[in-house]
A = this chain, B = another copy of it.
Amino acid sequence: MRVGVLGGGQLARMLALEGIPLGHRFTVLEGAPDPPAGVASTVVAAAYDDPDGLAAVAAAADVVTYEFENVPAGSAAYLAARLPALPPPGALQVAQDRLAEKRMFCELGIPTAPFHPVDGPEDVDEAVAVTGLPAVIKTRRLGYDGKGQVVARSRGEVEAAVERLGAGLIAESFVAFDKELSVLAAAGREGGRAFYPLTENHHREGILRVSYAPAPGLTPSLQSEAERLAGLVLDRLDYVGVLAIELFEVGGRLLANEMAPRVHNSGHWTLDGADASQFENHIRAVTGMPLATPRVPGPAAMVNIIGELPDPGAVAAIPGAHLHLYDKAPRPGRKIGHINVTGPDEATVMRTVARVWELLPGAGELPRATGW
């Protein structure tokens, strides 16, 4: 099948690398020069809302998908009118707006932290009454990697954040979580479902640094609760493809934080740690192939390469370390690759992660798995 992808970054690159062996061919729409996906796809060089670009992708593809949720609504509508555009545009719409997302979670009975919309100083009192303090003030749209959000510890800080971030905000209770987890779920065109084991994630400055999977200490009941919650979202959105939901674990309970209607950084470990990756399952889903029920034979971890490249040879010399570079120019705070770690047991994986971490320029202290 001919698969079109809006966006030509690392997610599109890995979708293509994993989809090519299934017999598919890829065309990406990407305005930035020399995009990461270019090595494994045909590039239509245009903006995501360029009519000629969209027409070219529609003509070159049998199905179209996305590597990011902030697809312009008009582009999604244009494509969906011409060919299967998956996940469905409705899922993108919800995921583009943190408020719509949180309201959907609520309606589905999926626990979240208390939240309240904020459109200006006049909403601060009511919001703080709902969220308490500290509160997290976020833009409803276009935030990523910690951008567009502020933790406010006092009413004054809330007001300052609202002043700074403008209208179209959401205030949420600050969650003193025990762990950050994520669940990756997939839904096929013909209705099949697949789930990966919960992943434990460690962020710093709002950017994912390290993931461990299956999440240390994961119990079957927590896994099935996560799958149940994810299943509710898949149902509600008539979803097709891979969906990630970021969760907080608080006192053994799961709270939904946010979702991504696409393959997700916290699932990159599946390239080496599962017998079918999130990228393969996303492509299986959108092309109408049966999903793979992933087998995860042992523990795995993922370490993001952010800002600066470690010596690739030194990484390659570490047994169990798997290098995945994106062909992106290094720049502070930019994700330019990741290193997956696999091994026969948790202790070995943890030791290997520590060796990998040593090679990352200026990485600071290693966020260790809780319990490995």
Contact = CB atoms under 8 A, between A and B. Distances in A.
Interface of A: 13, 17, 20-23, 25-26, 39-41, 272, 275-276, 284, 288-290, 292-293, 295, 297-298, 312-313, 316-317, 319-320, 322-325, 327, 337, 342-344
Contact of A295 (B20, B22, B25, B344): B344
A26 B13 CA distance: 15
A85 B344 CA distance: 36
Contacts of A17: 17, 20-21, 40
A360 to B, nearest CB: 16
A189 to B, nearest CB: 11
A288 B327 CA distance: 19
What copy number does this chain have within its complex? 2
A38 to B, nearest CB: 9
A312 B292 CA distance: 13
A20 B316 CA distance: 14
B272 A325 contact: no
Given A290-B313, A344-B297, A320 B275 contact: yes
B316 A289 contact: yes
Nearest to A25: B39
Given A17-B21, A22-B325, A313-B288, A319 B298 contact: no
A293 B321 CA distance: 11
Contact of A293 (B13, B292, B319): B319
A69 to B, nearest CB: 24
Contact of A317 (B290, B295, B319): B290
A318 to B, nearest CB: 9
5 contacts: A21-B322, A22-B312, A23-B337, A290-B313, A297-B297
